[in-house]
Structure 1
Amino acid sequence: MQAYVYKSLRKADTYVFLRKRDDFAVLPEPVRAPLGQLAFVLALELDEGRRLARADAGVVRANLAARGFHVQFPPALATVPPADD
């Protein structure tokens, strides 16, 4: 499965995978609006053996097949334990 990856210029470390290049119409407005402008990063083949750095390739493929898009959010910030009182 071919995927096209875009980065959000408004939200750091947030990426959008699309099944079709530049097919932003598949993104619901509540998802699209907070991302701001999207810049093309790369095209890649998401075959069964493909590994991704921050996402499960199987989940990305499933979302692309079902919705036409997948949004990869930044990793959660590490939580700091409360200070001892």
Structure 2
Amino acid sequence: MKRICSVYHSSKKAGMYLYVLRADALKRVPAPLLELFGTPKRAFDLVLTPERRLVREDISQVLSNLDSQGYHLQLPPPEDEYIVHWPEELLRRNDPV
């Protein structure tokens, strides 16, 4: 099962991506989702196969969603995965006395 898809990134939320079948473009994406997503900006096209690996998504889930609903929404990672938390002692050292 090979699928050619287009990937769009959200204009409203960093790290949010929408995978759609290239032939369908955005036709099968529900209007309320597009409203939350913002103006879709095409990032790239790619060929998806069950053997392909994706960094943050399960390829079988992406392919299943593309077949069943016509799109796959990739959400940004949880906040704690990309925000640096400074050690408590370092923060205390910089507090004004």
TM-score, normalised to structure 1, is 0.84
- Give how far 1:9 is off: 1.2
The list of structure 1 runs, each at least 4 consecutive aligned residues, that deviate by more than 6 angstroms after superposition, is: none
Structure 1: unaligned runs, 5 residues or longer: 81-85
**2:24 is equivalent to residue 8 of structure 1:** no
Residue 6 of structure 2 contacts residue 25 of structure 2 at CA under 8 Å; is this kept in 1? no
Structure 2: unaligned runs, 5 residues or longer: 86-97
Root-mean-square deviation (Å): 1.8
Aligned length: 80
- Give how far 1:23 is off: 2.2
User: Matched residue of 1:25: which SS?
Assistant: coil
Residue 8 of structure 1 contacts residue 15 of structure 1 at CA under 8 Å; is this kept in 2? yes
What is the identity percentage for the equivalent residue pairs of Structure 1 and Structure 2? 31
2: CA distance, partners of 1:21 / 1:65: 12
1:75 paired residue among 69, 74, 77: 77
For the pair shown, the structure with the greater C-alpha radius of gyration is 2
CA gap of 1:21–1:40, structure 2 versus 1, over 3 A, is farther
